[in-house]
């Protein structure tokens, strides 16, 4: 990922716009998918009220049947409990993985915090094995921080 500085600037512009939060989240998904070739599915999941589950919000990519994910289930559900980034370079090596489609080969999930509470996450699926680097984590952490200001 060579253009991380430019991507961050554009994310900054999206997040500081006066548009409704849903529109900003959708713009982030669409923008990341258009800019980063190996981001084949980009979406946000948020804690579903007081329930111990995540609910799918805005996303880019093929529709998924996983609109509700219980805490602890799959990569997203594990991040909801661990409060830590989870990078899976090859999903076939992951026992607790929920398949969103046969094309998905890898996944990265980064939590969003407000006042120290994990309120959601950004989830990226890729059709490539081993595509993610520390730059991806840096960018997604940056995005999660920006999203926490308007969500």
Domain that holds residue 137: 4-150
Q: The whole model's pTM is what?
A: 0.96
pLDDT score at 99? 74
Residue 95 has a pLDDT of 84
Q: How many domains does the chain have?
A: 1
User: What is the CATH number for 121?
Assistant: 3.30.450.40
Tokens of 51: 């329930």
Q: Quick one: how far is CA 66 from the chain centroid?
A: 14
Q: Convert the pLDDT of each residue in 87-122 to its tens digit.
A: 999 999 988 888 777 899 999 999 999 999 999 999
Helix axes 4-15, 134-150, angle to 10 degrees: 10
Structure-block tokens of residue 49: 């009220």
d(CA 22, CA 28): 10
Provide the pLDDT for residue 75. Answer: 96
Rounded average pLDDT over 74-86? 97
Q: Residue 139 has what pLDDT?
A: 98
Confidence of residue 2 (pLDDT cuts 50, 70, 90): confident
Beta bridge partners of 44: 122
> How much is the average pLDDT of 124-137?
97
Alpha carbon distance 115, 122 (integer Å): 18
Helix/strand/coil for 133: coil
Q: Is the pLDDT of residue 18 over 80?
A: yes
């Amino acid at each position: 990922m060579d253009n991380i500085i430019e991507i961050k600037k554009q994310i900054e512009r999206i997040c500081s716009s006066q548009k409704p939060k849903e529109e900003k989240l959708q713009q982030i998904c669409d923008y990341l998918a258009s800019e980063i070739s190996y981001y084949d599915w980009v979406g946000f999941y948020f804690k579903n009220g007081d329930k111990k589950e995540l609910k799918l919000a805005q996303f880019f990519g093929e529709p998924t049947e996983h609109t509700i994910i219980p805490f602890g289930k799959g990569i997203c559900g594990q991040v909801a409990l661990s409060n830590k980034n989870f990078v899976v370079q090859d999903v076939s090596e992951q026992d607790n993985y929920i398949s969103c489609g046969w094309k998905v080969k890898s996944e990265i999930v980064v939590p969003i915090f407000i006042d120290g509470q994990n309120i959601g996450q950004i989830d990226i699926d890729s059709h490539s094995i081993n595509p993610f680097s520390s730059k991806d984590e840096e960018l997604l952490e940056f995005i999660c921080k920006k999203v926490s200001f308007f969500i």
